[in-house]
Structure 1
């Protein structure tokens, strides 16, 4: 994976209070990638799972798709505060073990209510992304932290690409429902690896001296901005996901499922290839990078409405991928700035709340506009939202410069 965290000024310190080294950062990211397989790979197969649980037409698939997201959003701030109080490593292990338990319940469920309860547990007991970011933020600062956060996003993108393919390949031998039992081993293995890592702390020598206003005075505004941008970016990008395959079926009849899947994965592959370069590009100019990322996302999504050939769809998916990469990396840099001098568990738990909230809102709005205006409407809605947010951010930046 090419999103390795760049080296910065915070050095690893020997002993129990050391910061995290590169190998430990990569171990955390690898554990998140492994634990994400069932979370991201099995929901697309709900329509195949639910008929065996008493829902022959899978009419509840859409609702069940967002249940883990909703409960993850509700639980993330709570778990984040506990991490700050009792230790980030303990709460990261708790998240991995919670996922394992919920997967076991999901795989053993023999009715729709039992399966739904397992998904609620998955959302509330999981939260591995926020827990992993809080762990990293307790042991890293500055460019090393933002690079590590970008690496974590790389793990999420890699799971989005690989997990559905692996689940589909296993389906002839093990049905998607029972694969939950198999996937429960993955977060359990991740927890075993994470147990060998230290509790992350930076010594005073590893922390740069601060000058100017107190951290809370200086970063409260940045923190509120980060929450808003997280929500807007997730909403703008995720809203196009649920109906992309339907749009491809309309515009390119007869397109093979494999090619459609590759088109879906293309933006995430862009992130894996170019996130490290984008990170170096946006350091010191994250707000500008984010605004440009939103503008490129808007351009790519708007192009979905006009694309009518395979070449056109490849082009607009690559444009969308460029904006996705620039925006996500810029958010990582902004999060690293906001985390300076703060309790990371609570902060990243709240970031996760706004991120999941954006995803849930995107799913609801996508269903509403697609039902009324067609499969291209979600992409156009995302384009309009991204363009409006980019314009507002650039205008506010211009006003600050000329005050």
Structure 2
């Protein structure tokens, strides 16, 4: 397979990966609306304990996913990326079904940890698509992948809101497991990965981070991926309180907060593939730096809004800007690391994004509680601007 030409099955592989990524992300996020209720069903009655166990159960998956993403990436480099997708989809199908059978909160947290350990479908899909797609189409294809991931993040909580009242919480988990099993079947029978040459033990040892000759561009991409998730998640702990300060009618606070949370994801879905195409034409670094600076600029007026619609519109515009980052990050990494190490380094990129997903809410809650709501937006703006400057300094001059 030529790196320029990709494989003849790259389009079919892409759409199977988009479907699989969407379903697994939906499964990871659908429990957000009803997680406290499930914790209560499992025998926890104290209000503070319900909140703490809910937070532990939700964060558990992202913790183990961050820890094991580099390992799965390295194993994909050695044994094939399709094999990792089969492992992840089957593992997630089993884990999600077992979560629906939990008898206590310890089992719930343990199975959420297991789901993160066995998962990694979306990050593995990024690797397979990045390495099996023609170079000229890479950013567009990864933009479509990013749209699938963002759509999963948007649809998951919505599905989790209306499905449990219809079929029950436990059946919702079993239904999610069944859908992921469909993704397992399509992955197994429809994806065609180009045969990989066998690697010697010495080549395997020399792969990964050590094989990257110029680490500055790759390090810039790891930081960019972390900042992307941090910018999305830093507002999460404060959004309802912030909206209550600018909305007069208390009955509308949760509705507006829901729209604010969804606006950025919707913007990213709409822009990801288009910005990917733009990056294929005018250069990935230009799009990355422009997106970071645009996000930094859009965060400033969010600190001074006086109406709910203003915040929704600004979050939507910020989502449009952020949509170009994930595909460009993966593309730049692919172009700056040896092909045999792409999975390992993209696994590190996934871990850095999970770090942003964990640090963002923690930092947003701390800053908002100690320095006020506006400080969250302004502080995140400074970080995004610093990321844009670091990207400009780190970009290759050739």
Settle same-fold status: TM greater than 0.5: yes
Shift of 1:371: 2.6
* Paired residues for 1:68-79 under 5 Å: 68-79=61-72
Shift of 1:302: 2.2
* Structural RMSD (CA): 2.7
**Which residue of the other structure, out of 172, 193, 214, is the alignment partner of 1:200?**
193
Is residue 239–residue 365 contact of structure 1 (8 Å, CA) maintained in 2? yes
Is 1:244–2:239 an aligned residue pair? yes
Supply the distance in 1 between the matched residues of 2:304 and 2:373 (Cα, whole angstroms).
12
| Residues 93-132 of structure 1: CA deviation (Å, up to 9, x unaligned) | 1001111111122111111101010110011111111211
| Residues 170-210 of structure 1: CA deviation (Å, up to 9, x unaligned) | 12223335411221111111000111134422799xxxxxx
Is residue 298–residue 384 contact of structure 1 (8 Å, CA) maintained in 2? yes
Is residue 36–residue 159 contact of structure 1 (8 Å, CA) maintained in 2? yes
Supply the distance in 2 between the matched residues of 1:291 and 1:344 (Cα, whole angstroms).
23
What is residue 376 of structure 2 aligned with on the other side? 378
**Which residue of the other structure, out of 51, 58, 61, is the alignment partner of 1:59?**
51
SS of residue paired to 2:38: helix
What is residue 315 of structure 2 aligned with on the other side? 317
Supply the distance in 1 between the matched residues of 2:169 and 2:306 (Cα, whole angstroms).
33
Deviates more, 1:116-125 or 1:63-72: 63-72
Deviates more, 1:374-383 or 1:184-193: 374-383
Shift of 1:33: 0.7
**Which residue of the other structure, out of 187, 191, 195, is the alignment partner of 2:184?**
191
List alignment gaps of at least 5 residues for structure 1: 1-7, 13-17, 205-214
The 1:174–1:198 alpha-carbon spacing in structure 2 relative to 1, beyond 3 Å, is closer
Deviates more, 1:335-344 or 1:22-31: 335-344
The 1:72–1:282 alpha-carbon spacing in structure 2 relative to 1, beyond 3 Å, is same
The 1:19–1:139 alpha-carbon spacing in structure 2 relative to 1, beyond 3 Å, is farther
Deviates more, 1:228-237 or 1:87-96: 228-237
What is residue 128 of structure 1 aligned with on the other side? 121
Shift of 1:218: 5.3
SS of residue paired to 1:342: helix
What is residue 179 of structure 1 aligned with on the other side? 172
Is 1:87–2:119 an aligned residue pair? no
**Which residue of the other structure, out of 155, 163, 167, is the alignment partner of 2:160?**
167
Supply the distance in 1 between the matched residues of 2:73 and 2:356 (Cα, whole angstroms).
19
* Paired residues for 1:236-385 under 5 Å: 236-252=231-247, 253-254=249-250, 255=252, 257-283=254-280, 284-339=282-337, 341-385=339-383
| Residues 279-306 of structure 1: CA deviation (Å, up to 9, x unaligned) | 2222342222212211221222222211
Is residue 107–residue 178 contact of structure 1 (8 Å, CA) maintained in 2? yes
Is 1:144–2:133 an aligned residue pair? no
Please list every run of at least 4 consecutive aligned residues from structure 1 whose deviation after the TM superposition is greater than 6 angstroms: none
Supply the distance in 1 between the matched residues of 2:261 and 2:243 (Cα, whole angstroms).
10
Is residue 30–residue 155 contact of structure 1 (8 Å, CA) maintained in 2? yes
Shift of 1:364: 2.1
Shift of 1:396: 5.5
What is residue 104 of structure 2 aligned with on the other side? 111
**Which residue of the other structure, out of 84, 93, 96, is the alignment partner of 1:100?**
93
Shift of 1:315: 2.8
Shift of 1:86: 2.0
Supply the distance in 1 between the matched residues of 2:378 and 2:320 (Cα, whole angstroms).
18
Supply the distance in 2 between the matched residues of 1:40 and 1:151 (Cα, whole angstroms).
20
Supply the distance in 2 between the matched residues of 1:203 and 1:38 (Cα, whole angstroms).
31
Is residue 232–residue 264 contact of structure 2 (8 Å, CA) maintained in 1? no
Supply the distance in 2 between the matched residues of 1:357 and 1:174 (Cα, whole angstroms).
34
**Which residue of the other structure, out of 234, 246, 249, is the alignment partner of 2:229?**
234
| Residues 47-74 of structure 1: CA deviation (Å, up to 9, x unaligned) | 2221112333222222322111110011
Is residue 138–residue 202 contact of structure 1 (8 Å, CA) maintained in 2? no
The 1:104–1:220 alpha-carbon spacing in structure 2 relative to 1, beyond 3 Å, is same
List alignment gaps of at least 5 residues for structure 2: 198-209
Supply the distance in 1 between the matched residues of 2:302 and 2:56 (Cα, whole angstroms).
26
Supply the distance in 2 between the matched residues of 1:144 and 1:20 (Cα, whole angstroms).
13
Supply the distance in 1 between the matched residues of 2:3 and 2:275 (Cα, whole angstroms).
20
| Residues 218-258 of structure 1: CA deviation (Å, up to 9, x unaligned) | 55433222222222332233212333233223321432644
Larger helix fraction of residues: 2
